[in-house]
Structure 1
């Protein structure tokens, strides 16, 4: 097949994915701003935010992963023009996201004592606990927001969540500046100020997205007059059956990156701070792939609703190709600027912490080399996962992600990440191995499924 059959889809794919990317980058940008502002306080504070957020990432992965079940159901109902099915999918999805948000908050809140058992630097733990109290509560508005966002994405209205996330970012930056450093008469709260900023910005984010959706003709009837507690067991079961495996897929991936934070904590506060810098930078490029993954889920979901499997496969491959091109660009960027980018996070004018800061930047620059290598693997695995979710195929991909990250990736991180082996760089070699395994196995699964669907369609047509 000619290359233009794929490249001609780039413009529409980008139009659909770009607002999602900006919205996703917005979530990461909250963390980026927190890290840069907190990094001015010292490496212990930066490591504390890293440790606190490691608990948050696990909880967020379960919530965000679960909410992705809403998008393919809405996309399928939208292409079939079935309003009743679409509203039911949204209402039940939003109800489950709200319940999950509360449960995840309680889980993180009561898990704080685990920090003392994880052999992390004690000064880091004591800074992380008060920070986590407020950030944990922000999980409730965040997961409710995800319910609205995934619904909006399913209707191909990807701009509204982007606007809500951008507003949240502006509020977060302003509150961080005022509360971390105590400007304009506000109390100087250090990293707890960053937690307040995150909480307030996420509450505003939910309200503003609901307001935008209520104002649009296409979505107004869905998000108003919701009989929240009138529930259908069959629909609840359908969303749980789709959402639970999706949550586990994201959990297995995020958990190995969280394990990298904890493993680097065993090496000391400076390796942990360096790990946080490299992780924050690479997670920003990952959000671009995540945006394309949502576009993949929407477009595959639409074609599934139309039962046009040849077109589904062509569109999916066009998204995979665009993702690989962008990932290659990011890989080159990390190679070229591996020594420059980490310097954004620390203050070299701080004479007291100059030795620590220099060590952190040195370690982080090496980790960015590993991050450059895994850009393509990371992009492919998340794009193919999006396409498989669009097909509502979630159980086998869940097994694949577990095998890739925990039977392949984690043991390598554990053995190569010790002080007497490769240290922090060894931890990231494990991440690279896990992501590459996932990319290969998930692609094999997608290739097999789509060929099978096309073949069965041809037999039916005959």
Structure 2
């Protein structure tokens, strides 16, 4: 194996991936800002925002998963230099994202009652309900934005979504600050202020994205003459056939992590706090793998459009290798600093919290050792999934992810968490088992599929 054929692809991979990574961190920042500003109001408010966001997050993962269908279709059409196909995919994709955004908004508002069935404290659930109504409305602009983003990604223009998210973050911080605390002419709305800040910033995110793209000559021609007369059932069906399994793949993973949060909650607040800290750290490094996953989807679908399957395998493997190197680097950091990192999230000067904080640090430091290993599995499974989406292979990977997360991962999490002394660490060993089996099976699927494509192409 000649390593240089893979490493020479690294610089272009990073060039495509870094705006996606920064854009994803921008998305995450919206949630962090909400938590930080609302945290100053009190623990009930913070719990309400946390609970509300867990509902929004599940709906958002469905929307983002579905919208990823647009990228491989646009990228393939771009390789074929078929402008009409690119334009059609963009218009149909945007229409479907708008419809899906409205549907997810309605479903999220209707599903609020589940909070009361989950035995959440009544004060928290009552406060979370109006928060969910408003933030659920922001799903409409955020999923329309995904339609724009995935289209731009398909043309290998990954920077625009990053600019739009950064500008949206500035708007978000301004309105949050004004509306939560009632500064200047603004009313003091508490956690509803945080919800409104999110809605306004997400509407502006679409506005920024539209303006940035409409006034760019690379995209200009695709914005002309949008007409419902041009909408074709066959193209809608093609996007839905790719989008639905992709949405389900994302849902299976997100719900597994949400289940881990609920399981930790049943073990007590210190286990839940430790789980939360470890999850924030693991999610931040996962953004890097997500960026590389989008890169895999763009580059694999583009090379597929050129019918060059040998190059496709080299490009895909170069991205897998880069993901393994970067995630191993993060794993080493987690191992070296597993006792220090939890301190960053806790108020160590509060004498009343000393006993709780000590326990949280002990649990989190153990979780970070498990997270160090699952960084690598998580990185591999998400980049291979991106490459398979680039090949427009989504149905079998959907079944693979379901089995890995819910037939293998969750039962292990549940058993070790509830019935052994491992508790939170046991829950995370289950996550590790699920992610590792997903990484293994998805890679086998990719290797088989590409081998078959190379052989067919040689006939």
* Same-fold status (TM-score > 0.5): yes
TM-score (norm 1): 0.94
Q: Relative contact order (C-alpha < 8 Å, sep 6+): which is higher?
A: 1
Aligned to 1:368: 368
How far is 1:31 from its partner?
A: 1.8
Q: In angstroms, what is the RMSD of aligned CA positions? A: 2.0
Give the aligned partner of residue 116 of structure 1.
Answer: 116
Q: 1:423 to 1:181 in 2, by over 3 A?
A: farther
CA deviation after TM superposition for structure 1 residue 307, in Å? 0.5
Deviates more, 1:311-320 or 1:48-57: 48-57
Task: Give the CA deviation at 1:52.
Answer: 1.7
> 2:172 maps to what in 1?
172
Matched with 2:437 is 437
| Range with greater deviation from structure 2 (256-265 or 35-44) | 35-44
- In structure 2, the partner of 1:390 is 390
- Superposed CA offset, 1:361-420 (max 9, x none): 554343323222210000000000000000000110000000000000111111112276
Q: After alignment, is 29-38 or 103-112 more displaced?
A: 29-38
Aligned residue runs from structure 1 range 95-114, under 5 A: 95-114=95-114
Aligned residues: 459
Gaps of 5+ in 1: none
Report the CA distance between 1:164 and its aligned residue. Answer: 0.3
Corresponding residue number in structure 1 for 2:322: 322
| Gap change, CA 1:212 and 1:81, over 3 Å in 2 | same
SS at match of 2:204: helix
Q: SS where residue 112 of structure 1 aligns?
A: helix
Residues 1:332 and 2:301 are matched in the alignment: no
The range that moved more, 240-249 or 185-194, is 185-194
Matched, 1:401 2:401: yes
With normalisation by structure 2, the TM-score equals 0.94
1:84 aligns to what?
84
CA contact (8 A) 1:23 1:165 kept: yes
Question: C-alpha separation between the residues in 2 aligned to 1:301 and 1:17?
Answer: 15
> 1:428 maps to what in 2?
428
CA distance in 2, matches of 1:220, 1:59: 31
Are residues 401 and 270 of structure 1, via their aligned partners in 2, closer, same or farther at CA, if it must alter by over 3 Å?
Answer: same
Q: Name 2:280's counterpart in structure 1.
A: 280
Contact 1:120 1:266 in 2 (8 A): no
1:125-165 per-residue CA deviation (whole Å, 9 max, x = no partner) reads 33322322221111111100000000000001100001001
Q: Compared with structure 1, are the counterparts of its residues 412 and 325 closer, same or farther at alpha carbon in structure 2 (3 Å cutoff)?
A: same
Deviation at 1:318, TM superposition (A): 0.4
Q: Distance in 2 between matches of 1:430 and 1:98?
A: 36
Q: Structure 2 unaligned runs (5+)?
A: none
Shift of the 434–229 alpha-carbon distance from structure 1 to 2, 3 Å rule, reads: farther
Partners of 1:382 and 1:417 in 2: how far apart? Answer: 25
